[in-house]
């Protein structure tokens, strides 16, 4: 290129067809719904404890509900990053009724084991089609599920050990009241990345189109990059 000449960009028209395997895509999209249901479920647990006067346990599950919503957003972001369309589905109504303080804790462990099986299913589907990107993406969730099952299991153990004693139950509730919310690392990283660069946009289901040219001098597909538009 001659000195001073403007770079020439070859228009790259985004492909309409999905490059992500259809089954992997469906499972990832469904997982958004499953995580949102988890959030809804844990909010119902928080309601139960709130109404029973155990505000610490209610706090624990309110934070858990936020984390589950965050998990949904992480899956949603991943689909967007890969240019895939997100289809939001109806969220089921939590239908559990509890008669003891232990029951929500046991239901939580059962639910987390179910979620682990869902993550494993996505991982297996991705492995089958050698979708290494999705497998790597899921690594965080595999570790997260281990932690969530461990936490759920400990909650059960402690309730069984101390729940029948009023003073010990009060202490347990105080401990749970101390739990604070923090944004899961993949979501925090995505938010930071979004604030760093507005000039990187995904192509439909596979590959990320990005450039470093002066947006004021380049155009692509007839769209003005200076306006930050690329669709
Ligand atoms: Fe998002 Fe508790 O699984």
Per-residue pLDDT tens over the stretch 44-85: 999 999 999 999 999 999 999 999 999 999 999 999 999 999
DSSP 165: S
Q: pTM, whole model, 2 decimals?
A: 0.78
Distance CA 123, CA 9 (A): 37
Position 12 scores a pLDDT of: 45
- Shortest-distance atom of ligand 1 to CA 72: 1
68-84 residues labelled b (16+ CB within 10 A) or e (exposed): bbbbbbbbbbbbebbbb
Residue by residue, DSSP assigns 117-139 as HHHHHHHHHHHHTT-HHHHHHHH
Alpha carbon nearest to ligand 1 atom 2, residue: 112
Nearest residue CA, atom 1 of ligand 1? 68
Residues in the chain: 231
Phi, psi of 95 (to 5 degrees): -120, 20
Distance 145 CA to ligand 1 centre (A): 7
Which residue stretches of the chain have pLDDT < 50?
Answer: 11-16, 203, 206-231
């Amino acid at each position: 290129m001659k000195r001073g000449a403007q770079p020439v960009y070859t228009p790259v028209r985004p492909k309409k067809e999905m490059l992500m395997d259809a089954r992997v895509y469906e499972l990832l999209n469904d997982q958004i719904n499953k995580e949102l249901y988890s959030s809804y479920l844990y909010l119902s647990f928080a309601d139960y404890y709130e109404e029973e006067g155990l505000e610490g346990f209610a706090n624990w599950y309110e934070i858990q509900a936020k984390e589950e919503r965050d998990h949904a957003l992480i899956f949603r972001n991943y689909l967007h990053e890969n240019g895939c369309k997100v289809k939001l589905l109806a969220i089921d109504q939590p239908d559990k009724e509890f008669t003891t303080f232990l029951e929500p804790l046991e239901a939580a462990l059962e639910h987390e084991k179910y979620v682990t099986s869902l993550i494993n299913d996505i991982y297996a589907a991705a492995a089958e089609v050698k979708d290494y990107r999705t497998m790597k993406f899921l690594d965080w969730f595999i570790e997260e599920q281990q932690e969530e099952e461990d936490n759920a299991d400990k909650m059960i153990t402690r309730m069984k050990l101390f729940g029948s004693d009023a003073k010990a139950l009060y202490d347990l509730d105080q401990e749970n009241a101390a739990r604070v919310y923090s944004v899961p690392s993949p979501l925090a990283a995505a938010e930071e990345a979004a604030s760093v660069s507005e000039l990187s946009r995904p192509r439909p289901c596979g590959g990320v189109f990005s450039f470093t040219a002066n947006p004021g001098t380049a155009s692509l597909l007839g769209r003005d990059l200076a306006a930050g538009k690329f669709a």
